[in-house]
Amino acid sequence: MLAESAEKYRHTRSTTERFCAPLAIEDFVVQSMPDCSPTRWHLAHSTWFFETFLLLAFEPNYQPVSADYQFLFNSYYNGVGKQFPRARRGLLTRPTVADVFEYRRQVDQRVMRLLSELPHDRATEAARIVELGINHEQQHQELMVTDLKHLFSCNPLQPIYRSPSDRLATHTPSNSAVWSSFAGGVTSIGSSAATFVFDNECPRHQTLLQPFEIRNRLVTVGDFLEFMGDGGYTRPELWLSMGWSAVREQQWAAPLYWEQRQGQWLRFGLDGLCPVSADEPICHVSYFEADAFARWSHARLPTEAEWEQAAGTLEIRGSFLESEHYHPQPCGPDCSSPITQLFGEVWQWTASPYTAYPGYEAASGALGEYNGKFMCNQYVLRGGSCATPRSHIRSTYRNFFPPDARWQFSGIRLARNPKSQHESSMPNRSA
Protein backbone atom coordinates (compact mmCIF):
# COMPACT_ATOMS: atom_id res chain seq x y z
CA MET A 1 0.00 0.00 0.00
CA LEU A 2 2.75 2.46 0.88
CA ALA A 3 4.46 1.84 -2.43
CA GLU A 4 1.42 3.21 -4.15
CA SER A 5 1.37 6.13 -1.74
CA ALA A 6 5.00 6.84 -2.52
CA GLU A 7 4.33 6.81 -6.22
CA LYS A 8 1.42 9.22 -5.92
CA TYR A 9 3.46 11.40 -3.60
CA ARG A 10 6.30 11.65 -6.11
CA HIS A 11 3.91 12.44 -8.91
CA THR A 12 2.11 15.17 -6.99
CA ARG A 13 5.26 16.81 -5.76
CA SER A 14 6.80 16.93 -9.20
CA THR A 15 3.59 18.28 -10.75
CA THR A 16 3.77 21.17 -8.31
CA GLU A 17 7.32 21.94 -9.28
CA ARG A 18 6.72 21.58 -12.98
CA PHE A 19 4.22 24.42 -12.83
CA CYS A 20 6.98 26.64 -11.45
CA ALA A 21 9.40 26.02 -14.29
CA PRO A 22 8.56 29.10 -16.37
CA LEU A 23 8.69 31.47 -13.40
CA ALA A 24 11.36 34.01 -12.63
CA ILE A 25 12.56 34.03 -9.05
CA GLU A 26 10.84 37.37 -8.56
CA ASP A 27 7.49 35.77 -9.38
CA PHE A 28 7.74 33.41 -6.41
CA VAL A 29 7.91 36.09 -3.77
CA VAL A 30 5.11 38.61 -4.00
CA GLN A 31 1.65 38.52 -2.39
CA SER A 32 -0.82 40.52 -4.44
CA MET A 33 -3.67 40.55 -1.92
CA PRO A 34 -4.36 38.98 1.48
CA ASP A 35 -6.38 36.12 -0.08
CA CYS A 36 -3.45 35.14 -2.29
CA SER A 37 -0.13 33.70 -1.25
CA PRO A 38 3.28 33.85 -2.91
CA THR A 39 4.15 30.79 -4.99
CA ARG A 40 7.06 30.15 -2.70
CA TRP A 41 4.75 30.05 0.27
CA HIS A 42 2.60 27.41 -1.40
CA LEU A 43 5.72 25.37 -2.09
CA ALA A 44 6.83 25.60 1.50
CA HIS A 45 3.46 25.22 3.18
CA SER A 46 2.55 22.03 1.34
CA THR A 47 5.92 20.68 2.45
CA TRP A 48 5.31 21.82 6.02
CA PHE A 49 2.07 19.85 5.93
CA PHE A 50 3.89 16.58 5.24
CA GLU A 51 6.62 17.41 7.71
CA THR A 52 4.15 18.23 10.46
CA PHE A 53 1.47 15.61 10.05
CA LEU A 54 3.59 12.79 8.68
CA LEU A 55 7.25 13.08 9.65
CA LEU A 56 6.76 14.57 13.08
CA ALA A 57 3.97 12.12 13.82
CA PHE A 58 5.50 8.95 12.48
CA GLU A 59 9.26 9.30 12.56
CA PRO A 60 10.73 8.85 16.02
CA ASN A 61 12.83 11.79 17.17
CA TYR A 62 12.29 13.65 13.93
CA GLN A 63 13.92 17.07 13.99
CA PRO A 64 12.25 19.67 11.76
CA VAL A 65 14.39 21.03 8.95
CA SER A 66 13.96 24.42 10.59
CA ALA A 67 12.11 25.45 13.72
CA ASP A 68 11.39 28.75 11.99
CA TYR A 69 9.61 27.02 9.13
CA GLN A 70 7.26 25.39 11.61
CA PHE A 71 6.05 28.89 12.42
CA LEU A 72 6.43 30.58 9.05
CA PHE A 73 4.64 27.96 6.99
CA ASN A 74 1.78 26.97 9.29
CA SER A 75 -1.29 28.38 7.61
CA TYR A 76 -4.04 28.33 10.23
CA TYR A 77 -3.60 25.30 12.48
CA ASN A 78 -3.91 26.66 16.01
CA GLY A 79 -3.53 23.10 17.24
CA VAL A 80 0.01 23.02 15.85
CA GLY A 81 1.16 26.41 17.10
CA LYS A 82 1.31 30.09 16.29
CA GLN A 83 1.25 31.28 12.70
CA PHE A 84 2.97 34.03 10.80
CA PRO A 85 0.17 36.43 9.81
CA ARG A 86 -1.41 35.53 6.52
CA ALA A 87 -1.45 39.06 5.11
CA ARG A 88 2.31 39.39 5.67
CA ARG A 89 3.42 36.32 3.76
CA GLY A 90 4.70 38.55 1.00
CA LEU A 91 7.13 40.34 3.31
CA LEU A 92 9.45 37.37 3.56
CA THR A 93 12.36 37.33 1.14
CA ARG A 94 14.11 34.61 3.10
CA PRO A 95 14.15 31.65 3.06
CA THR A 96 14.97 32.12 -0.59
CA VAL A 97 13.33 30.19 -3.38
CA ALA A 98 16.37 27.95 -3.51
CA ASP A 99 16.08 27.37 0.24
CA VAL A 100 12.48 26.35 -0.19
CA PHE A 101 13.26 23.91 -2.96
CA GLU A 102 15.96 22.49 -0.71
CA TYR A 103 13.36 22.19 2.05
CA ARG A 104 11.17 20.27 -0.35
CA ARG A 105 14.06 18.00 -1.32
CA GLN A 106 14.91 17.15 2.28
CA VAL A 107 11.33 16.44 3.26
CA ASP A 108 10.81 14.38 0.13
CA GLN A 109 13.81 12.22 0.99
CA ARG A 110 12.61 11.67 4.52
CA VAL A 111 9.08 10.90 3.39
CA MET A 112 10.37 8.37 0.89
CA ARG A 113 12.51 6.72 3.52
CA LEU A 114 9.66 6.69 6.01
CA LEU A 115 7.28 5.11 3.55
CA SER A 116 9.77 2.38 2.74
CA GLU A 117 10.61 1.66 6.37
CA LEU A 118 7.37 2.07 8.25
CA PRO A 119 6.18 -1.03 10.12
CA HIS A 120 3.00 -2.67 8.92
CA ASP A 121 0.88 -1.70 11.87
CA ARG A 122 1.19 1.99 11.12
CA ALA A 123 0.97 1.77 7.35
CA THR A 124 -2.76 2.33 7.04
CA GLU A 125 -2.70 5.39 9.18
CA ALA A 126 0.33 6.80 7.37
CA ALA A 127 -1.19 6.09 3.98
CA ARG A 128 -4.21 8.13 4.99
CA ILE A 129 -2.06 11.07 5.99
CA VAL A 130 -0.10 10.81 2.75
CA GLU A 131 -3.31 10.79 0.78
CA LEU A 132 -4.58 13.78 2.72
CA GLY A 133 -1.30 15.58 2.14
CA ILE A 134 -1.46 14.85 -1.57
CA ASN A 135 -4.98 16.19 -1.79
CA HIS A 136 -3.88 19.18 0.23
CA GLU A 137 -1.02 19.83 -2.16
CA GLN A 138 -3.38 19.51 -5.11
CA GLN A 139 -5.52 22.25 -3.62
CA HIS A 140 -2.43 24.41 -3.45
CA GLN A 141 -1.59 23.55 -7.06
CA GLU A 142 -4.87 25.14 -8.01
CA LEU A 143 -4.20 28.14 -5.78
CA MET A 144 -0.77 28.57 -7.33
CA VAL A 145 -2.47 29.01 -10.71
CA THR A 146 -5.09 31.45 -9.48
CA ASP A 147 -2.74 33.42 -7.25
CA LEU A 148 -0.14 33.78 -9.99
CA LYS A 149 -2.82 34.97 -12.38
CA HIS A 150 -3.90 37.60 -9.87
CA LEU A 151 -0.32 38.70 -9.31
CA PHE A 152 0.42 39.05 -13.01
CA SER A 153 -2.82 40.96 -13.52
CA CYS A 154 -1.54 43.69 -11.17
CA ASN A 155 1.38 44.38 -13.48
CA PRO A 156 0.74 46.83 -16.32
CA LEU A 157 3.28 44.87 -18.35
CA GLN A 158 0.80 41.97 -18.30
CA PRO A 159 3.38 39.22 -18.10
CA ILE A 160 2.65 36.04 -19.99
CA TYR A 161 3.14 32.78 -18.14
CA ARG A 162 2.90 30.77 -21.31
CA SER A 163 2.02 31.78 -24.83
CA PRO A 164 -1.46 30.84 -25.91
CA SER A 165 -1.85 27.45 -27.47
CA ASP A 166 -3.86 27.18 -30.64
CA ARG A 167 -7.44 27.60 -29.73
CA LEU A 168 -10.10 25.11 -30.59
CA ALA A 169 -12.39 26.56 -33.22
CA THR A 170 -15.36 25.31 -31.28
CA HIS A 171 -18.70 26.99 -31.68
CA THR A 172 -21.37 26.71 -29.02
CA PRO A 173 -24.73 27.08 -30.78
CA SER A 174 -26.89 29.58 -28.99
CA ASN A 175 -29.78 27.17 -28.99
CA SER A 176 -27.71 24.49 -27.35
CA ALA A 177 -28.85 25.32 -23.85
CA VAL A 178 -31.67 23.04 -22.73
CA TRP A 179 -33.29 22.28 -19.40
CA SER A 180 -32.98 18.79 -18.00
CA SER A 181 -35.66 17.69 -15.56
CA PHE A 182 -35.17 15.80 -12.34
CA ALA A 183 -37.94 14.32 -10.29
CA GLY A 184 -36.60 15.09 -6.84
CA GLY A 185 -37.65 12.95 -3.91
CA VAL A 186 -35.56 11.44 -1.16
CA THR A 187 -32.05 11.05 -2.44
CA SER A 188 -28.66 10.46 -0.92
CA ILE A 189 -25.78 12.85 -1.21
CA GLY A 190 -22.33 12.98 0.28
CA SER A 191 -19.74 10.29 0.47
CA SER A 192 -19.75 6.90 2.09
CA ALA A 193 -16.05 7.15 1.69
CA ALA A 194 -14.72 3.88 0.38
CA THR A 195 -11.88 5.98 -1.00
CA PHE A 196 -10.35 9.23 0.13
CA VAL A 197 -12.69 12.13 0.66
CA PHE A 198 -12.58 15.23 2.82
CA ASP A 199 -14.48 15.20 6.09
CA ASN A 200 -16.89 17.84 4.82
CA GLU A 201 -18.28 15.39 2.23
CA CYS A 202 -19.41 13.05 5.01
CA PRO A 203 -21.52 11.41 6.07
CA ARG A 204 -23.52 10.26 3.09
CA HIS A 205 -27.06 11.04 4.08
CA GLN A 206 -30.58 11.31 2.75
CA THR A 207 -32.08 14.59 1.74
CA LEU A 208 -35.38 15.53 0.16
CA LEU A 209 -35.45 17.34 -3.16
CA GLN A 210 -38.36 19.03 -4.87
CA PRO A 211 -38.59 18.40 -8.62
CA PHE A 212 -36.16 20.70 -10.45
CA GLU A 213 -34.72 21.50 -13.82
CA ILE A 214 -31.07 22.18 -14.49
CA ARG A 215 -29.33 23.66 -17.52
CA ASN A 216 -27.39 21.14 -19.58
CA ARG A 217 -24.36 23.41 -20.02
CA LEU A 218 -22.47 26.26 -18.40
CA VAL A 219 -23.36 29.90 -18.93
CA THR A 220 -21.14 31.31 -21.68
CA VAL A 221 -19.40 34.61 -22.18
CA GLY A 222 -21.99 35.31 -24.85
CA ASP A 223 -24.84 34.72 -22.42
CA PHE A 224 -23.19 37.00 -19.90
CA LEU A 225 -22.60 39.78 -22.43
CA GLU A 226 -26.37 39.84 -22.94
CA PHE A 227 -26.83 40.36 -19.20
CA MET A 228 -24.29 43.18 -19.27
CA GLY A 229 -25.91 44.70 -22.32
CA ASP A 230 -29.24 44.67 -20.53
CA GLY A 231 -27.82 46.81 -17.70
CA GLY A 232 -27.05 43.87 -15.46
CA TYR A 233 -24.50 45.74 -13.40
CA THR A 234 -26.67 48.83 -12.99
CA ARG A 235 -30.02 47.44 -11.84
CA PRO A 236 -30.30 46.94 -8.07
CA GLU A 237 -33.44 44.84 -8.37
CA LEU A 238 -31.33 42.02 -9.81
CA TRP A 239 -28.96 41.83 -6.87
CA LEU A 240 -28.77 40.69 -3.31
CA SER A 241 -28.38 43.66 -1.03
CA MET A 242 -24.78 42.74 -0.17
CA GLY A 243 -24.09 42.09 -3.83
CA TRP A 244 -25.31 45.51 -4.81
CA SER A 245 -23.04 47.04 -2.17
CA ALA A 246 -20.13 45.13 -3.68
CA VAL A 247 -21.00 46.38 -7.17
CA ARG A 248 -20.93 49.97 -6.03
CA GLU A 249 -18.03 49.86 -3.59
CA GLN A 250 -15.74 47.81 -5.80
CA GLN A 251 -17.08 49.37 -8.98
CA TRP A 252 -17.80 46.09 -10.71
CA ALA A 253 -18.92 46.45 -14.31
CA ALA A 254 -17.65 43.19 -15.75
CA PRO A 255 -16.07 39.94 -14.54
CA LEU A 256 -12.65 40.14 -12.93
CA TYR A 257 -9.75 40.45 -15.38
CA TRP A 258 -11.92 42.04 -18.06
CA GLU A 259 -11.16 45.43 -19.52
CA GLN A 260 -12.67 47.37 -22.34
CA ARG A 261 -10.53 48.90 -25.08
CA GLN A 262 -12.08 50.72 -27.96
CA GLY A 263 -15.41 49.11 -27.38
CA GLN A 264 -14.05 45.60 -27.24
CA TRP A 265 -13.89 43.43 -24.13
CA LEU A 266 -10.55 41.81 -23.43
CA ARG A 267 -9.68 39.38 -20.67
CA PHE A 268 -6.35 38.85 -19.00
CA GLY A 269 -5.08 35.30 -18.54
CA LEU A 270 -1.88 33.38 -18.02
CA ASP A 271 -1.61 33.52 -21.80
CA GLY A 272 -1.83 37.31 -21.79
CA LEU A 273 -4.52 39.74 -22.83
CA CYS A 274 -6.98 38.49 -25.47
CA PRO A 275 -10.42 39.37 -26.76
CA VAL A 276 -13.15 37.51 -24.91
CA SER A 277 -14.63 34.57 -26.72
CA ALA A 278 -18.40 34.23 -26.72
CA ASP A 279 -18.40 30.44 -26.64
CA GLU A 280 -16.26 30.00 -23.57
CA PRO A 281 -17.80 29.50 -20.16
CA ILE A 282 -18.05 32.74 -18.20
CA CYS A 283 -15.41 32.83 -15.50
CA HIS A 284 -14.14 34.89 -12.55
CA VAL A 285 -17.58 35.91 -11.39
CA SER A 286 -18.59 36.10 -7.74
CA TYR A 287 -21.57 34.40 -6.16
CA PHE A 288 -23.24 37.79 -6.28
CA GLU A 289 -22.82 38.02 -10.04
CA ALA A 290 -23.91 34.41 -10.52
CA ASP A 291 -27.00 35.05 -8.41
CA ALA A 292 -27.85 38.28 -10.26
CA PHE A 293 -27.39 36.63 -13.64
CA ALA A 294 -29.70 33.83 -12.55
CA ARG A 295 -32.36 36.28 -11.38
CA TRP A 296 -32.09 38.18 -14.67
CA SER A 297 -32.55 34.82 -16.44
CA HIS A 298 -35.75 34.10 -14.48
CA ALA A 299 -33.92 31.14 -13.05
CA ARG A 300 -31.85 30.43 -9.97
CA LEU A 301 -28.64 28.67 -8.98
CA PRO A 302 -28.88 24.95 -8.20
CA THR A 303 -28.49 23.77 -4.63
CA GLU A 304 -25.55 21.51 -4.05
CA ALA A 305 -27.86 18.55 -3.57
CA GLU A 306 -29.53 19.22 -6.93
CA TRP A 307 -26.14 19.52 -8.58
CA GLU A 308 -24.99 16.28 -7.03
CA GLN A 309 -28.12 14.45 -8.13
CA ALA A 310 -27.66 15.80 -11.65
CA ALA A 311 -24.03 14.72 -11.65
CA GLY A 312 -25.12 11.24 -10.64
CA THR A 313 -22.52 8.80 -11.84
CA LEU A 314 -21.44 10.70 -14.91
CA GLU A 315 -17.93 10.15 -16.12
CA ILE A 316 -15.54 12.94 -15.16
CA ARG A 317 -14.57 14.75 -18.36
CA GLY A 318 -13.41 18.29 -19.05
CA SER A 319 -10.34 20.51 -18.95
CA PHE A 320 -8.26 20.14 -15.83
CA LEU A 321 -4.88 21.27 -14.58
CA GLU A 322 -3.18 18.58 -16.62
CA SER A 323 -4.43 20.02 -19.91
CA GLU A 324 -2.42 23.13 -19.08
CA HIS A 325 -4.93 25.48 -20.65
CA TYR A 326 -5.37 27.41 -17.38
CA HIS A 327 -8.51 28.77 -18.98
CA PRO A 328 -11.98 27.24 -19.43
CA GLN A 329 -12.65 25.76 -22.85
CA PRO A 330 -15.81 26.04 -24.94
CA CYS A 331 -18.29 23.22 -24.99
CA GLY A 332 -17.39 20.62 -27.56
CA PRO A 333 -19.49 18.37 -29.79
CA ASP A 334 -21.59 17.05 -26.90
CA CYS A 335 -22.80 20.54 -26.25
CA SER A 336 -26.46 19.74 -26.68
CA SER A 337 -26.44 16.59 -24.62
CA PRO A 338 -28.82 16.55 -21.65
CA ILE A 339 -26.10 17.28 -19.15
CA THR A 340 -22.53 18.31 -19.83
CA GLN A 341 -19.63 20.42 -18.56
CA LEU A 342 -20.24 19.26 -15.00
CA PHE A 343 -16.55 18.83 -14.33
CA GLY A 344 -13.56 20.97 -15.12
CA GLU A 345 -13.57 24.37 -16.86
CA VAL A 346 -15.06 26.44 -14.00
CA TRP A 347 -16.28 25.84 -10.49
CA GLN A 348 -20.05 26.23 -10.39
CA TRP A 349 -21.51 28.42 -7.66
CA THR A 350 -24.42 26.73 -5.92
CA ALA A 351 -27.18 28.36 -3.91
CA SER A 352 -26.03 26.41 -0.85
CA PRO A 353 -24.24 28.07 2.04
CA TYR A 354 -21.38 25.93 3.20
CA THR A 355 -22.64 24.03 6.25
CA ALA A 356 -22.02 20.76 8.02
CA TYR A 357 -23.88 17.73 6.71
CA PRO A 358 -26.16 16.12 9.31
CA GLY A 359 -23.95 13.98 11.49
CA TYR A 360 -20.76 15.71 10.37
CA GLU A 361 -17.86 15.41 12.73
CA ALA A 362 -14.55 17.12 12.22
CA ALA A 363 -11.44 15.01 12.54
CA SER A 364 -9.82 15.11 15.94
CA GLY A 365 -6.68 17.12 16.62
CA ALA A 366 -5.21 19.85 14.48
CA LEU A 367 -6.41 18.21 11.25
CA GLY A 368 -9.93 18.89 12.46
CA GLU A 369 -9.24 22.52 11.58
CA TYR A 370 -9.01 21.61 7.90
CA ASN A 371 -12.62 22.24 6.96
CA GLY A 372 -15.06 22.59 9.80
CA LYS A 373 -14.00 25.93 11.15
CA PHE A 374 -14.64 27.63 7.84
CA MET A 375 -18.33 26.74 7.69
CA CYS A 376 -19.59 30.29 7.88
CA ASN A 377 -20.47 32.93 5.31
CA GLN A 378 -19.20 30.88 2.39
CA TYR A 379 -20.96 29.24 -0.52
CA VAL A 380 -20.41 25.78 -1.98
CA LEU A 381 -18.98 25.43 -5.48
CA ARG A 382 -19.00 22.17 -7.34
CA GLY A 383 -17.28 20.43 -10.23
CA GLY A 384 -13.66 21.62 -10.29
CA SER A 385 -12.03 23.88 -12.81
CA CYS A 386 -9.36 24.05 -15.48
CA ALA A 387 -6.88 24.55 -12.62
CA THR A 388 -8.01 21.51 -10.60
CA PRO A 389 -6.00 18.31 -10.92
CA ARG A 390 -8.09 15.68 -12.63
CA SER A 391 -7.66 13.12 -9.87
CA HIS A 392 -8.70 15.62 -7.22
CA ILE A 393 -12.32 16.08 -8.21
CA ARG A 394 -15.41 13.93 -7.73
CA SER A 395 -19.16 14.44 -7.65
CA THR A 396 -19.30 14.77 -3.86
CA TYR A 397 -16.48 17.33 -3.68
CA ARG A 398 -17.38 20.58 -1.92
CA ASN A 399 -15.32 23.66 -2.56
CA PHE A 400 -16.24 26.91 -0.80
CA PHE A 401 -15.53 30.61 -1.07
CA PRO A 402 -17.04 33.83 0.26
CA PRO A 403 -19.74 35.29 -1.99
CA ASP A 404 -17.58 38.18 -3.20
CA ALA A 405 -14.58 36.06 -4.23
CA ARG A 406 -13.73 36.36 -7.92
CA TRP A 407 -10.13 35.29 -8.39
CA GLN A 408 -10.93 31.58 -8.60
CA PHE A 409 -12.06 30.03 -11.89
CA SER A 410 -15.70 30.33 -10.86
CA GLY A 411 -18.67 30.28 -13.22
CA ILE A 412 -22.38 29.66 -13.50
CA ARG A 413 -24.87 26.89 -14.16
CA LEU A 414 -28.60 27.63 -13.93
CA ALA A 415 -31.47 25.73 -12.37
CA ARG A 416 -35.18 26.43 -12.00
CA ASN A 417 -38.38 25.08 -10.58
CA PRO A 418 -40.62 23.19 -13.00
CA LYS A 419 -43.44 25.17 -14.59
CA SER A 420 -46.31 23.44 -12.81
CA GLN A 421 -44.85 24.53 -9.55
CA HIS A 422 -44.67 28.11 -10.84
CA GLU A 423 -48.36 28.23 -11.39
CA SER A 424 -49.37 27.27 -7.88
CA SER A 425 -50.67 30.38 -6.22
CA MET A 426 -49.93 31.40 -2.68
CA PRO A 427 -52.82 33.73 -1.98
CA ASN A 428 -52.10 34.79 1.59
CA ARG A 429 -48.40 35.30 1.34
CA SER A 430 -47.35 38.87 1.87
CA ALA A 431 -44.39 41.20 1.77
Restricted to residues 200-239, the positions that interact with a copy of itself (CB under 8 A) are 202-203, 205-208, 210, 236-237, 239
Q: Is 96 in the site for a copy of itself (CB under 8 A)?
A: yes
Q: Is 122 in the site for a copy of itself (CB under 8 A)?
A: no
Q: Phi/psi at 271 (nearest 5 deg)?
A: -100, 15
What is the C-alpha separation between 218 and 79, in angstroms, rounded?
40
Q: Is 195 in the site for a copy of itself (CB under 8 A)?
A: yes
Q: Is 67 in the site for a copy of itself (CB under 8 A)?
A: no
Among 356, 390, 391, 394, binds a copy of itself (CB under 8 A): 356
Q: Is 62 in the site for a copy of itself (CB under 8 A)?
A: no
* Sites for a copy of itself among residues 167-186 (CB under 8 A): 186
Q: Specify the stretch interacting with a copy of itself by CB under 8 A; choose among 57-65, 114-122, 241-249, 323-331.
A: 241-249
Q: Which long-range contacts (CB under 8 A, 24 or more apart) does 372-376 make?
A: 372/199, 372/200, 374/400, 375/200
Least distance (Å) from a copy of itself to the CB of residue 203?
6
Q: Specify the stretch interacting with a copy of itself by CB under 8 A; choose among 68-76, 254-262, 336-344, 388-396.
A: 68-76
What is the C-alpha separation between 20 and 27, in angstroms, rounded?
9
Largest CA distance in the chain: 72
Q: How far apart are the first and last CA of the chain?
A: 61
> Is the CB of 156 or the CB of 229 nearer to a copy of itself?
156
Torsion of CA 104, 110, 114, 115, to 10 degrees: 40
Least distance (Å) from a copy of itself to the CB of residue 395?
16
Torsion of CA 268, 270, 276, 277, to 10 degrees: -170
Among 95, 232, 384, 389, binds a copy of itself (CB under 8 A): 95
> Is the CB of 210 or the CB of 260 nearer to a copy of itself?
210
What is the C-alpha separation between 224 and 290, in angstroms, rounded?
10
DSSP H or E segment with residue 110: helix 97-117
- C-alpha distances in angstroms, 175 versus 60, 217, 329, 376? 63, 11, 18, 38
Q: Specify the stretch interacting with a copy of itself by CB under 8 A; choose among 2-10, 29-37, 222-230, 384-392.
A: 29-37
Least distance (Å) from a copy of itself to the CB of residue 264?
22
Q: Is 268 in the site for a copy of itself (CB under 8 A)?
A: no
Residue pair 114/55 in contact (Cβ under 8 Å)? The answer is yes
Least distance (Å) from a copy of itself to the CB of residue 419?
12
